[in-house]
Amino acid sequence: MNTYQCKVKLEVTKTIKTTTDVQVQATNAYKAKLQLEAMYGRGNVVSAPILLSNK
């Protein structure tokens, strides 16, 4: 499994929104993006997944 990092948008309150880096494990960048979209919503993935470690 590879570890990827990506920026996602989070809604803290109704008026406060922020972006944060999250890490996810997946076999490739496409599957990492799909997993992040499933967890945070399709429009909330801000950047492309970046490979951090290869295992």
Mean pLDDT of the chain: 95
Q: Which long-range contacts (CB under 8 A, 24 or more apart) does 42-48 make?
A: 43/9, 44/8, 44/9, 44/10, 45/6, 45/7, 45/8, 46/6, 46/7, 46/8, 46/9, 46/19, 47/6, 47/7, 48/6
What is the model's pLDDT at position 53? 84
Query: Which regions of the chain are under pLDDT 50?
Result: none
What is the model's pLDDT at position 2? 95
Q: What is the pTM of this model?
A: 0.86
What is the model's pLDDT at position 54? 81
